[in-house]
């Protein structure tokens, strides 16, 4: 069996889109589950759409997700360069070979002439097809026009009738009528290759065995097969993964919220959750399991289980998954991800962290189980770092009634008397007071929680007390009593 070599080939026109990340993931899974290699190639020939720092952002996002490549930028390999902009001579050489073999021809039609033809066909309500105006030009005329300095592109000659069959690993055989195609451009007049030409040359020279990509590229595949055949190259295996649609089943766009890996990272999502979620967009292990690691997926992965149906983008599901990972991952995996959020919020700095690392870890461990994102960990922790300036309005109406003063005062007295301020001792104070007064524990816990946090929802009350410490706990309870008396 030939070596499995797959590739992920993004264009550096922005951050890594969630759809691109899924393509990279499934290529990585296919390579690893078949003992193969993932090649990363940067398709940067579209100079008009390139964005500065986009390459570094894409590489950073891939590495953050845990998707590492075997050949490509920063890694090297035997089939480079891995930037298309550095491979222009290869494309030029192959185009010249096709011209010499009579499989391609020079087209001198100007943009204005092509637009006039396009408008003519538009008025006739016909799809645009190049009229093959320059296909039968005599070699002498071609040489004369080139020598005269006329601008030209290079078009491939394709049969005028017949069909191209794409043998797809997901969709089966898909037939395309050649009458729907024309002699398309493979080299632009500026000397740059078109996408379809460059990708074929690169995939062949990099010995790509399987081209696994999004379904929207299926329409490009017949053109690429025609180029493979004209060049005399062996055609790779194709697999086109289902599209990712918005919840309303429209094309996914910015109006549906975050769509890039970097945006999700900034909002406080974990790489493990994003990977898990992307895996579910078009693939499932065939059971009810929804939570699985990258390693688990790799062991179970079979490309044949890819769905043909479009996957629906659902951030609620992603957020739920993120909450699961946030509460169960080892703390050492959470700390490097959550710390920058606290620093950006101005709650801590590096100096504070050096002397309070153990306390900070305990705080994160307590808070993380009740929230869904890293940003929510920060939002749920502010009262540990800043003095309370207000209480939740609904909480005031429900828990800060006049009788709460007596409850808080009794609790305050019990806490002040403790020699050891521990989880067990503070809880015992509250159990004793509840039993003595014949009331449910919640009746005294709720006003205390509001007094200590300003909120009606928090981690376990006694965990909160320990993190605040005895001095701050007592002060906040006294402040709450004063506040209630002022109502």
Active-site positions read 254
Cβ-defined contacts of 410-413 (< 8 Å, 24+): 410/437, 411/444, 411/448, 411/477, 412/474, 412/477, 412/478, 412/481
Answer left, alpha or beta for residue 158, where phi above 0 means left and psi between -120 and 50 means alpha: beta
Tokens coding 81: 């360069």
Three-class SS state of 282: coil
- CA–CA gap between residue 391 and residue 19 (Å, rounded): 43
- CA–CA gap between residue 245 and residue 262 (Å, rounded): 20
- CA–CA gap between residue 471 and residue 74 (Å, rounded): 53
- CA–CA gap between residue 258 and residue 13 (Å, rounded): 17
Residue 190 in contact with residue 92, Cβ under 8 Å? no
Sequence-distant (6+) residues with CB within 8 A of 267 are 258, 373, 375
Angle between the N-to-C axes of helices 18-33 and 54-65, in degrees from 0 to 180, rounded to the nearest 10: 50
Q: What is the dihedral of CA 465, 471, 473, 475, to 10 degrees?
A: 180
Q: Where are the alpha helices (DSSP H) in 329-422?
A: 331-344, 350-367, 374-379, 382-385, 393-399, 403-416
* SS3 readout for 140-170: HHHHHHHHCCCCCEEEECCCCCCEEEEEECC
Going by their DSSP bridges, the two strands 185-187 and 153-156 should be labelled as antiparallel
- CA–CA gap between residue 151 and residue 135 (Å, rounded): 16
Burial class (CB in 10 A: 0-12, 13-18, 19+), 24: buried
Q: Where are the alpha helices (DSSP H) in 184-258?
A: 195-205, 221-231
- CA–CA gap between residue 370 and residue 388 (Å, rounded): 21
Three-class SS state of 12: coil
Tokens coding 59: 């590489």
């Amino acid at each position: 069996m030939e070596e499995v070599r797959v590739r992920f080939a993004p264009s550096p026109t922005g951050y890594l889109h969630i759809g691109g990340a899924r393509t990279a993931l499934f290529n990585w899974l296919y390579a690893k589950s078949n003992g193969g290699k993932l090649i990363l190639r940067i398709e940067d020939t579209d100079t008009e759409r390139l964005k500065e720092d986009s390459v570094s952002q894409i590489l950073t996002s891939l590495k953050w997700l845990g998707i590492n490549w075997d050949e490509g930028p920063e890694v090297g390999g035997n089939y480079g360069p891995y930037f298309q902009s550095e491979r222009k001579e290869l494309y030029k050489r192959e185009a010249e070979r096709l011209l010499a073999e009579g499989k391609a021809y020079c087209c001198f039609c100007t943009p204005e002439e092509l637009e006039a033809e396009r408008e003519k066909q538009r008025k006739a309500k016909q799809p645009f097809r190049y009229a093959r105006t320059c296909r039968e030009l005599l070699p002498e005329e071609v040489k004369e026009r080139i020598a005269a300095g006329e601008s030209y592109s290079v078009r491939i000659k394709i049969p005028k009738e017949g069909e191209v069959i794409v043998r797809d690993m997901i969709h089966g055989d898909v037939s395309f009528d050649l009458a729907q195609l024309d002699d398309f451009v493979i080299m632009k007049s500026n000397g740059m290759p078109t996408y379809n030409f460059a990708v074929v040359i690169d995939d062949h020279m990099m010995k790509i065995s399987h081209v696994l990509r999004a379904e929207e590229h299926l329409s490009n595949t017949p053109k690429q097969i025609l180029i493979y055949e004209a060049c005399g190259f062996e055609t790779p295996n194709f697999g086109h993964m289902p599209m990712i649609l918005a919840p309303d089943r429209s094309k996914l766009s910015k109006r549906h919220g975050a769509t890039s890996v970097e945006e999700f990272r900034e909002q406080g999502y974990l790489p493990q959750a994003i990977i898990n979620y992307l895996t579910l967009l078009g693939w499932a292990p065939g059971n009810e399991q929804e939570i699985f690691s990258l390693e688990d997926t790799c062991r179970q992965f079979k490309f044949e289980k890819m769905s043909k149906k479009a996957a629906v983008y659902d951030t609620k599901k992603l957020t739920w998954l993120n909450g699961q990972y946030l509460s169960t991952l080892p703390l050492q995996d959470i700390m490097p991800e959550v710390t920058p959020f606290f620093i950006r919020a101005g709650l801590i700095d590096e100096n504070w962290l050096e002397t309070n690392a153990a306390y900070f870890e305990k705080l994160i461990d307590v808070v993380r189980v009740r929230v869904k994102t890293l940003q929510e960990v920060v939002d749920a922790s502010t009262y540990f770092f800043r003095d309370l300036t207000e209480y939740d309005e609904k909480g005031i109406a429900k828990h800060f009634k006049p009788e709460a003063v007596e409850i808080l005062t009794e609790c305050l007295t019990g806490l002040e008397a403790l020699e050891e301020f521990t989880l067990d001792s503070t809880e015992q104070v509250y159990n004793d007071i509840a039993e003595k007064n014949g009331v449910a524990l919640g009746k005294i816990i709720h006003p205390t929680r509001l007094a200590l946090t300003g909120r009606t929802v928090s981690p376990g009350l006694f965990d909160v007390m320990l993190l605040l410490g005895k001095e701050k706990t007592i002060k906040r309870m006294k402040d709450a009593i004063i506040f209630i008396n002022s109502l």
